[in-house]
Amino acid sequence: MKEPTPEKGGADRLTLIDTFVRIVNAGSLSAAAEQLGATQPTVSRRLQALERAVGVRLIQRSTHGMQLTEEGRRCYDRAEELIASWQAFDSEVRGAGQQPVGTLRVVVPHAFGQQEFVRPLATYLRRYPGMRVEWLLNDRMPDFISDGVDCAIRVGEVQDESVVAIRLGDVPRIIVAAPALLDDGPVPDHPNDLARLPWLALRTFYRDEVALNNTLTGEAVRLPIQPRMATDSLYALRTAAILGLGVCVASTWIFEDDLRQGRLRQLAPGWQAHALPLNLVYPASRLQPRRLRAFIDTMRAELPRGPGN
């Protein structure tokens, strides 16, 4: 087959650019060739044709491997955006009225990803049988480009200006403790009554201070704490609370069964910690492919008021 040349038009240039992106992502010419169903010499010729077209060396090749040049790094960032935009355009034109197909990579927080969000995920997979989902549990914001992630669901404020954040709802939080921790005494009804009790901390959202608001009056109180245990795991926090190790603040939904069964009691019922925003985020530089738009629509429909409500 005759190889595309830059002079033959935009479609051929897109082929060269796509090959370049594949080489970088795959890490070698041979791996890119396997992905493309082409030979290594073919992939090498395409790379050389692109380098001639832009007039700079993009990849430095040696017996020890390959490395992007400075120009290659700049070209790669723009090439990724261009290919993503073209794929979204092509999908929109060709697939009007068709269901999305392919793979969606989503990063979700550990606790929510194991429980609350699996139900809307199931709805998405049932609705779009041509889709596959890689459901990745991680409490940190991913590097969307290097990790190959389509979107992430985040609990808490999103400060990163390089991403688009779509609000899915809010996560209410309450104060709980095991009955044994109260020594069969009355349930505290004001934050000041909580200061004498041992505390647990969820390091992701609070460490040495808890901010509480009265749900009726709006009165705000900041309560200093010295936690006996601090963790970044919502499940570990819940287990420690059930075992009577201390008072804690966390998402209402995770305590619902424990409160019904009497394993935990809500303290200061008229007070809550600030609700945490729940956002779906994706890179600002990318268009939304059909598979991502469908996932966003499903999450919005399945979580109209936020999890646990």
What digits encode the pLDDT tens for the residues 56-105? 999 987 766 788 888 888 888 788 777 777 766 666 665 545 788 888 99
Q: pLDDT band for position 25 (50/70/90)?
A: confident
Give the integer Cα–Cα distance in Å for 83 and 89. Answer: 10
Instruction: Determine the 3-state secondary structure of 68 from DSSP.
Output: strand
Give the integer Cα–Cα distance in Å for 220 and 212. Answer: 6
Half-sphere exposure of 245 (CA within 13 A, CB side): 17
Between strands 229-231 and 200-202, the pairing is parallel
- Kindly write down the DSSP assignment for every residue of 83-99, as one continuous string: HHHHHHHHHHHHTTTPP
- Kindly write down the DSSP assignment for every residue of 104-118, as one continuous string: EEEEE-HHHHHTTTH
Backbone angles phi and psi of 154, in degrees to 5: -125, 135
- Please state which of the four CATH numbers 1.10.390.10, 3.40.190.10, 3.40.1390.30, 3.40.1280.10 is assigned to the domain occupying 102-170+277-302: 3.40.190.10
Between strands 209-214 and 271-283, the pairing is antiparallel
- Please state which of the four CATH numbers 3.40.10.10, 1.50.10.10, 3.40.50.2300, 1.10.10.10 is assigned to the domain occupying 10-90: 1.10.10.10
Residue appearing with tokens 């060269």: 16
Q: pLDDT band for position 183 (50/70/90)?
A: confident
Write down the mean pLDDT value for the chain.
86
Q: Percent of the chain beyond pLDDT 70?
A: 89
- In this structure, which topology does domain 171-274 adopt according to CATH? D-Maltodextrin-Binding Protein; domain 2 (3.40.190)
The answer to whether the pTM exceeds 0.85 is: no
Q: 102-170+277-302 and 171-274: same fold?
A: yes
Picking from 142, 272, 254, 122, the residue whose alpha carbon sits closest to that of residue 194 is 272
**188-247 pLDDT, tens per residue?**
999 999 988 999 999 999 999 999 999 999 899 999 999 999 999 999 999 999 999 999
